Structure 1
């Protein structure tokens, strides 16, 4: 690994118990297929855990509709997989074969616009086009806030299966498709040219569109004034903490022990940053999926005086109820843009649980960090209102009001 191209150490050994960080991102998950020939084809995917968490699998009855199952699952996946992105679908084989097919499908190039232009030539391509239209008609949109585009492509692979079975697997991938494909034929080392930055649009952020917030002086009255969908620019001291830190904090609270940092009146960012290189104060620091912290939210808000949270995607019913009860707020940072988010972080230091590595509690000093009010102090969630509004606008699928 190049010392100036560090990846976040995200792999944990002993997953059911101590969940100890291996510190070097090993071991990988490796699938090998022996085929005729005299060369080796390699496909590498550095896949995000947030999208992998939203994978779905079902043993359908042979008479059931794959389309209906997919359309039922997509809303249940929420926004933690960072739509818009791709869906890999595996059909047939056995349970494990269907999952592998879905993952392999995600390795294929994005070509839905070409398929739309030429038209389908087989049933699988017909299914791709049907699902592409119907999934986008759900109105889930970018980051789950509502919009026209939920998927950028749908890839499908199938395999013969037992007469009694219809295994179907679906694995999403966010727009950050970190893939490398190369072939070894014995002629020498493989050299991969990095993509040209000229192929990407020039993006600038207009800070005048957001309301500046000083986290060092913020009050409950300030939080109560925020409206769902409002853009804020965070400034000042922002704490971090995700799964391991929350579990340890709750264990300490249950024992009556004092936490390493006072959370009263503070905001906490659900993030595990990458180590810095060169002159960086912190490496890429994008938000992690907030629903994993839902089960801790009521206790942490009630016992620590924490004022608000920042994360990725939606919050579940229990967390929303806790936010409403304690007049808190949940702010959504943009998933899939960890490097850009880190540019708003001007200083970083570990203030608790240093042994947890990237899951330690940091204190960031942020400047104009853009976030969206996703759940306000009354419990209104834009992840519920936004997609419902867009689904009605698109008008292809009936809107179900809860």
Structure 2
């Protein structure tokens, strides 16, 4: 029950220290585009806290860190792993707040969805207490996919390796967020340290105030300040806040090696820590809604656009960096649907049910199932670069444009320019807010693929930003360049 409740709790409540960090970032942000993105994330966060719906459509894969006291008298008749996974399944299938099932089995083969988001990735340890300590975290694929690991030479510079890799990470991990770094041990230990580091309290400002007291704290501060000078900013739009904190854990290692791992936590940071002492399930306190400021987006700089009025000939009126409110009908497709579409194209077969992609906008999204009177559950964008390899085929089919999150690779940008198309981004980490603009949703094809199916959404005033315009100008290049300070 504690695990199930924790999975539910973190799906709609950000940690309070993270909210405070985001509020501070919003108040000091100087980039209009980045400030708007952070504002959307905070509005979404408050809506989720009030409505008890997921912060992000990617409700993550579950990580459990469990420390079992050797003196704890566990009255269980099954393996502890089975009990933990039953808690995850119960939490993710709660009918009052259904969460998305993202875990697939047979990862190198059939990749079949397990239908309840199990199994969790579980890390065990023990101590001499009579209690159980548990941390539950839900990590989205966008940030997990940006994890990095290397074994440096002992004389190599950790700072340089981290800075180089952060600069190459782009925006697919949905900044601003927290960077976890693990140093030492061996390859698997450093990765585990990086993941554990993400569960720490956001305290970089306290560290700045008292000053560093060792080499790790000096490295934390230096990385925090210099990463924010790169100019990546919220959602990669360019700005002064890319990370809210840099957390580091280290461990002794072999004299001949220096293992280093880096894992980011996205704008949908989700984790909670609790203890069980034999007196029943854990109780989680609701945060005070006063924690979130009242934020209104600057509507005077936003253009309303009816999708039905758009043609390939008039897309050129929109320029990289423009903020739009879209209304009309769009289609959805992610990795699996794109693969199917290309297979049908190569076989010269029409798509099922008469689905026609010509002159349509394709939204990269895998929504959460709806509850109660919802037309669709939280439906934020997924990382667009995964669809880059399908873009030429989609352009040849005749799509008008794409909606996703984060940057596109240069060959894709070249295709957008060649076909006079357009790439829009929605804010990652604002899934519930975005879903409020979806007035109707129906599955058109590949229903058996669940959230990977092709849907048709009817949207009204869906907030997006022009990321790549018809001339091939990318906000993910021009934005960070404008705000880069080092």
Q: Tell me the residue number matched to 2:129.
A: 37
Alignment of 1:1-400 (within 5 A): 1=91, 2-260=94-352, 261-302=355-396, 304-391=397-484, 394=485, 397=486
Q: CA deviation at 1:190?
A: 1.1
- Distance in 2 between the 1:239 and 1:14 partners? 29
Q: CA deviation at 1:188?
A: 2.3
- Distance in 2 between the 1:80 and 1:381 partners? 15
- Distance in 2 between the 1:201 and 1:351 partners? 39
- Alignment coverage as a number of residue pairs: 392
After superposition, the C-alpha distances for 1:188-211 in whole angstroms (9 at most, x for unaligned) are 221112223221112233444321
TM-score, normalisation: structure 1: 0.96
1:216 alignment partner, SS class: helix
Asked if structure 1 preserves the Cα contact closer than 8 Å seen for 2:149 and 2:191, the reply is: yes
- Distance in 2 between the 1:205 and 1:147 partners? 17
1:236 alignment partner, SS class: strand
1:220 alignment partner, SS class: coil
- Distance in 1 between the 2:285 and 2:318 partners? 46
Asked if structure 1 preserves the Cα contact closer than 8 Å seen for 2:363 and 2:404, the reply is: yes
1:80 alignment partner, SS class: coil
Asked if structure 2 preserves the Cα contact closer than 8 Å seen for 1:238 and 1:266, the reply is: yes
1:90 alignment partner, SS class: strand
After superposition, the C-alpha distances for 1:372-402 in whole angstroms (9 at most, x for unaligned) are 00001111101011111111xx3xx2xxxxx
Q: Tell me the residue number matched to 1:400.
A: none
Q: CA deviation at 1:215?
A: 1.5
Gaps of 5+ in 1: 398-402
Asked if structure 2 preserves the Cα contact closer than 8 Å seen for 1:82 and 1:142, the reply is: yes
Asked if structure 2 preserves the Cα contact closer than 8 Å seen for 1:207 and 1:233, the reply is: no
Q: CA deviation at 1:229?
A: 0.1
After superposition, the C-alpha distances for 1:69-92 in whole angstroms (9 at most, x for unaligned) are 011001211100111110000001
1:50 alignment partner, SS class: helix
Asked if structure 1 preserves the Cα contact closer than 8 Å seen for 2:380 and 2:430, the reply is: yes
Q: CA deviation at 1:25?
A: 0.7
Does 233-242 or 187-196 show the bigger shift?
A: 187-196
Asked if structure 1 preserves the Cα contact closer than 8 Å seen for 2:182 and 2:250, the reply is: yes
- Distance in 1 between the 2:103 and 2:228 partners? 33
Asked if structure 1 preserves the Cα contact closer than 8 Å seen for 2:267 and 2:428, the reply is: no
Asked if structure 1 preserves the Cα contact closer than 8 Å seen for 2:371 and 2:377, the reply is: yes
Gaps of 5+ in 2: 1-90
Q: CA deviation at 1:353?
A: 0.6
Asked if structure 2 preserves the Cα contact closer than 8 Å seen for 1:238 and 1:365, the reply is: yes
Asked if structure 2 preserves the Cα contact closer than 8 Å seen for 1:350 and 1:361, the reply is: yes
Higher helix residue share: 2
TM-score, normalisation: structure 2: 0.79
- Distance in 2 between the 1:287 and 1:46 partners? 17
Q: CA deviation at 1:19?
A: 1.5
| 1:351–1:208 CA distance, 2 compared to 1 (3 A) | farther
1:291 alignment partner, SS class: helix
Does 59-68 or 193-202 show the bigger shift?
A: 193-202
Asked if structure 2 preserves the Cα contact closer than 8 Å seen for 1:45 and 1:179, the reply is: yes
